[in-house]
Structure 1
């Protein structure tokens, strides 16, 4: 009886490696390779509300099997140490992927980085800067300040223009 209880307890939570992902269903499912080569299909992957991902094969999963019954389990967390950002300061957080794209909420700013294109969509897109707004592209730039706008091109003298910004509600 104790051996049976011990076996059930050992089967409740297991680590595994993701081998396949089905993200086309309402609840994403994963195939996970567990210890000793055991393969479990169609484990439901529970994700936090508002966040979703499609983990790559080789990611690691923490799985739960209720009452130690291995016939139906769930994946509660999937992480991938191959792409994990390192060196974040205490209290910082980030979202990231395997292509070096990230949104990093740092202690002093929010940093968005990607080697790819960035696209924003919406009916009305507004960008507000309380102190300044700086736009730069290929050596050309503009810096909008409360009283004036500065323009520049690398290698030439910049120009400054007085502005009367619109009132922002």
Structure 2
């Protein structure tokens, strides 16, 4: 085979038809030039893996120009790729619109997710934490330097008002509610 023919056969554009993610190296069925359908290994970057959808586009490379030694190197999907990122930004995305966007200014945006789950033996948040919606905690909240609550709070059915009045779940207000130290019941607060 002539050298120009080998060079011409080194790389091909391809359209994904199917993906098999069960092997250690992913196998993709690709339609290459002139309707040539091939099953190829898809080589991915270390630490990042994905399962592209049928219709995604990619580049197949034939090692030494030999069509029998063709692998899929890069796959992209123009239908779902986020656009108009800032120079230097990096983005992970899915076809459903879930995005992890590493943004300029050292910011990270997670967008479009219905739930974010972090599984770890321990999680450290080293910096101020702001919650703009409801915070549900199934375990204990402890603080080394105390706990500051701005606004009203509900604790085991009791309500602590913004003014500092505690009302029990049974409706008893402890504002001005005093106990007789000698065991004789309650007394009224002085007026």
Where on the TM-score scale, by shorter chain, does this alignment land: which range? 0.7 to 0.9
Structure (1/2) with the larger strand percentage: 1
Taking the aligned partners of 1:113 and 1:126, their CA distance within structure 2 comes to: 22
Residue 103 (structure 1) shift? 0.7
Taking the aligned partners of 1:33 and 1:50, their CA distance within structure 2 comes to: 27
Taking the aligned partners of 2:60 and 2:48, their CA distance within structure 1 comes to: 19
1:57 to 50, 54, 57: 54
Structure-2 change in CA distance of 1:150 and 1:160 (3 Å):
farther
Could you state the TM-score of these two structures normalised by the residue count of structure 2?
0.68
1:133 to 129, 132, 145: 129
Could you state the TM-score of these two structures normalised by the residue count of structure 1?
0.77
Taking the aligned partners of 2:73 and 2:163, their CA distance within structure 1 comes to: 56
SS at match of 1:134: coil
* The structure with more radius of gyration: 2
Structure 2: any 5+ residue segments left out of the alignment? 137-146, 154-160, 165-191
Residue 107 (structure 1) shift? 0.9
> Number of residues paired by the alignment?
146
Kindly provide the CA deviation profile for residues 78-130 of structure 1, in whole angstroms up to 9, marking residues without a partner as x: 1111111101001111111101111101112110112421111111122232x
SS at match of 1:71: helix
Kindly provide the CA deviation profile for residues 26-66 of structure 1, in whole angstroms up to 9, marking residues without a partner as x: 0111111012111111x111111100000100011100012
SS at match of 2:150: strand
Structure 1: any 5+ residue segments left out of the alignment? 141-146, 162-169
Taking the aligned partners of 2:41 and 2:152, their CA distance within structure 1 comes to: 55
Find out whether 1:10 has 2:4 as its counterpart. Answer: no
Q: Give the alignment's Cα RMSD to 1 decimal.
A: 2.6
